[in-house]
């Protein structure tokens, strides 16, 4: 793992081989030069979306596509065996795109704005993860047929109902708010999420939806539920567990569907809580299960969003500096956590607060395309409270705006991935 972190840091610093060298090789129709440039570029992770040359992403993608097509059709100096091995490597290195939706509470409409913008441009990935409020949005997407999803995303009131379902407070009719009962939260989820397993949801939507949950009673890693990992687990239960904010809702068990439709306890009836506490952005799990190498993250978790920098004008040097700063910070967190836990071991409430703070601080909030809000439409203290229909619409609009600003980065990877899929398809025919 340490070696992998070192390599990623070096890749961010290097930014891949200079794009001018590829242009020169293409101008000369130098297939060997093109081959060597692509091999170096893919190893650095730039064409796969890991590099940080964001301002030049569209131009780089255009040249990479031209280079891939040259290698396939006009590369007499590169043997067929080398090309076969290269395209196999390129398939794995470029990988697939995954969309990750962070914890959000009632700020979930921001995620919907991001989703709507990507969908309207034909760029919505078919691999999606969600935690806490993001789990509710992910499940809403991944349990609908394509035509149902289209109608849902075109709805002018998009966001209002989801924001209600993501909150933990409700009006009492006297101008004050009360906490939702577990039964009320369950009813809201049941009314919006069909009674499907993850496998059934995938068969219906064609979208691989994954939801993270955190063990409530044991100090164990978070679990990513989905069609590849837990196909028979019920999506509703996963959403309910991932939304179980400690202190607001009790931990929740998961169930799975057995042959004949019988429901049975999953993992011996173990209880689970808010997925954002254990794994808000499950990049490693998505890479392992789906071959994802390019990540889009919509992050509206108020505990971390304020500290994230998603500017597209970062240079490779500043990107590398930010990367290593994050590595050192997480190392510091890892070293101090045992002492903090020991100091609070006699106070259950303090111990829970320490565990929660360190669980979030130790996570890596990074992606190839990072989308965070820049406007304070709803204050952080209200993320568990109801918001007005106007605020919900404003959050949807802001999410769409922020996603539109990053479309060129998403489209660049999609172009490379699409060209590679076409080439692999022709070679397999």
| Catalytic sites, residue numbers | 132, 274
3-state secondary structure of 48: coil
Question: CA dihedral in degrees (311, 127, 137, 51; nearest 10)?
Answer: -10
Helices 108-120 and 407-428, axial angle in degrees (round to 10): 50
Q: What are residue 211's DSSP bridge partners?
A: 130, 225
Query: Phi and psi for 195 in degrees, rounded to 5?
Result: -80, 80
- Which residues of 65-145 form beta strands (DSSP E)? 96-101, 127-131
| Whole-angstrom distance, CA of residue 320 vs CA of residue 15 | 9
| Whole-angstrom distance, CA of residue 282 vs CA of residue 305 | 16
What's the burial of 422, exposed, middle or buried (CB within 10 Å: 0-12/13-18/19+)? middle
| Whole-angstrom distance, CA of residue 366 vs CA of residue 281 | 8
Cα-only R_g, the chain: 23
Contact 267, 292 (CB under 8 A): no
- Nearest alpha-carbon partner for 193 in 228, 239, 152, 147: 239
Strands 208-215, 96-101: pairing is unpaired
| Whole-angstrom distance, CA of residue 404 vs CA of residue 196 | 32
Those residues whose C-beta lies under 8 Å from the C-beta of residue 394, and which sit 6 or more positions away, are 377
Element (H, E) at 417: helix 407-428
| Whole-angstrom distance, CA of residue 347 vs CA of residue 325 | 32
What's the burial of 71, exposed, middle or buried (CB within 10 Å: 0-12/13-18/19+)? buried
| Whole-angstrom distance, CA of residue 238 vs CA of residue 333 | 29
The DSSP letter of residue 272 is E
- Nearest alpha-carbon partner for 45 in 420, 366, 413: 413
Q: How many angstroms from the chain centroid is the CA of residue 35?
A: 32
């Amino acid at each position: 793992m340490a070696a992998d972190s070192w390599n990623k840091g070096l890749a961010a610093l290097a930014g891949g081989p200079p794009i001018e060298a590829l242009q020169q090789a293409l101008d000369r129709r130098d297939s060997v030069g093109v081959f060597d440039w692509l091999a170096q570029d893919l190893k650095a992770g730039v064409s796969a979306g890991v590099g940080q040359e964001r301002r030049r992403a569209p131009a780089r993608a255009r040249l990479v596509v031209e280079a891939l097509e040259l290698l396939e059709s006009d590369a007499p100096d590169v043997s067929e065996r080398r090309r076969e091995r290269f395209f196999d490597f390129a398939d794995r290195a470029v990988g697939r795109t995954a969309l990750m939706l962070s914890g959000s509470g009632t700020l979930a409409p921001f995620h919907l704005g991001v989703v709507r913008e990507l969908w309207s441009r034909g760029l919505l990935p078919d691999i999606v993860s969600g935690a806490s409020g993001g789990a509710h949005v992910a499940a809403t997407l991944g349990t609908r047929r394509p035509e149902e999803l289209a109608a849902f995303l075109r709805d002018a009131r998009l966001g209002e109902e989801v924001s209600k379902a993501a909150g933990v407070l409700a009006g009492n009719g006297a101008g004050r708010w009360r906490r939702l009962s577990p039964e009320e939260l369950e009813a809201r989820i049941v009314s919006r999420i069909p009674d499907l397993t993850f496998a059934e949801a995938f068969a219906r939507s064609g979208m691989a939806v994954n939801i993270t949950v955190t063990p409530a009673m044991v100090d164990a890693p978070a679990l990513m539920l989905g069609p590849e990992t837990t196909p028979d687990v019920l999506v509703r239960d996963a959403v309910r567990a991932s939304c179980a904010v400690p202190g607001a809702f009790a931990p929740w068990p998961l169930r799975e569907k057995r042959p004949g439709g019988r429901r049975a306890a999953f993992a011996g009836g173990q209880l689970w809580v808010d997925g954002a506490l254990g794994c808000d952005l499950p990049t490693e799990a998505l890479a392992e299960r789906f071959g994802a190498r390019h990540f889009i993250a919509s992050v509206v978790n108020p505990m971390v969003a304020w500290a994230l920098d998603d500017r597209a004008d970062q240079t490779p040097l500043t990107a590398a500096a930010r990367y290593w700063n994050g590595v050192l910070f997480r190392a510091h967190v890892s070293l101090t956590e045992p002492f903090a836990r020991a100091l609070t071991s006699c106070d259950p409430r303090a111990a829970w607060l320490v565990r929660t703070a360190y669980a979030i601080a130790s996570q890596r909030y990074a992606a190839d395309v990072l989308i965070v809000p820049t406007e304070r439409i709803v204050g952080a203290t209200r993320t568990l409270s109801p918001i007005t229909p106007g605020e919900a619409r404003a959050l949807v609009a802001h999410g769409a705006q922020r996603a539109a600003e990053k479309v060129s980065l998403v489209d660049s990877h999609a172009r490379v991935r699409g060209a590679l899929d076409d080439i692999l398809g022709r070679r397999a025919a």
